[in-house]
Copies of this chain bind each other. A is one copy, B any other.
Amino acid sequence: MTRSVDLNADMGEGFGPWTMGDDEGLLDIVTSVNVACGMHAGDWDVMERTFASASARNLGLGAHPGFPDLQGFGRRRIDLAAASIGNLVAYQVGAARGIAAKTGSEIRHVKLHGALANMASEDEALARVCYEAALAVAPEIIVMVMAGTAQQSAAAALGCRVACEIFADRAYTDDATLVDRTEPGAVIRAPQRAARRVVDMIEAGAILSESGKRIPTRIDTVCLHGDTPAAVSMARAVREGLAAAGIGLAPFPGTPL
């Protein structure tokens, strides 16, 4: 039996004249991209360029909705009502589909960004609101969830298409959420260590937390961040580590849980 996994990265995180990360470098490493939708990053032009580049390489295209907070890059919690969050997700998924269509491509998946993702990973009802909104816009869309969290249980309950994601460069708590960025050790910066962890988790079929806890989960995709200077070398190390371990690369199939 051959195992394979998808590699995804956030892209299109510039805005107007400002750029972030090495999108071109990552495009040759990943198999799926999550594109910011204009609220926490990205604008209609950045989105158009990013979808065009990614679809030219036959990558899986994703909408990456976040909070309306450019200055905070969508990483600050905002106390939005759940119904408003549902509308916010529908708006962004629709906008992403609009821009993708303009480039002759289609949105295949949706992944929540930043504080919105973290909140949904802790609150199944909120995750459900987000996913129902995305599915109302695009019934065949694959919901990318943070494996082991309330995001995953929400998607499982909906019976929709799902991709379970682990993070290459972020430490995990014992409830499968990410250690807060402001804490020491939250972000793993050594490429070899990140690569080793990813292979270990895929071989274990489980998330491995900082404390050593083993949280069993399906793993469909690995998130490689693109906004740090060393992102490309990190991504390459993970890709090489997977190859060395005999794990192939392929876009996630999106099978329901």
Contacts and interface: CB of A to CB of B under 8 A. Distances in A.
A16 interface: yes
A181 interface: no
18 contacts: A15-B71, A16-B72, A43-B71, A44-B88, A44-B91, A45-B83, A47-B91, A48-B87, A70-B70, A72-B80, A76-B79, A79-B115, A87-B102, A92-B98, A93-B98, A94-B97, A95-B95, A101-B136
Interface of A: 14-20, 38, 41, 43-45, 47-48, 68-73, 76-80, 83-84, 86-88, 90-99, 101-102, 104, 115, 133, 136-138, 227
Nearest to A88: B44
Contact of A18 (B14, B88, B99): B14
B17 A73 contact: yes
Given A15-B15, A87-B44, A91-B44, A137 B20 contact: no
Given A71-B43, A87-B102, A94-B96, A17 B227 contact: yes
B70 A16 contact: yes
A59 to B, nearest CB: 20
Given A68-B71, A72-B16, A73-B16, A90 B101 contact: yes
A220 to B, nearest CB: 25
Nearest to A98: B94
A227 B15 CA distance: 15
A91 B103 CA distance: 12
Nearest to A85: B44
Contacts of A97: 94, 97-98, 137
Nearest to A96: B94
A55 to B, nearest CB: 13
Contacts of A133: 102
Contacts of A86: 102
B102 A98 contact: no
A35 B97 CA distance: 19
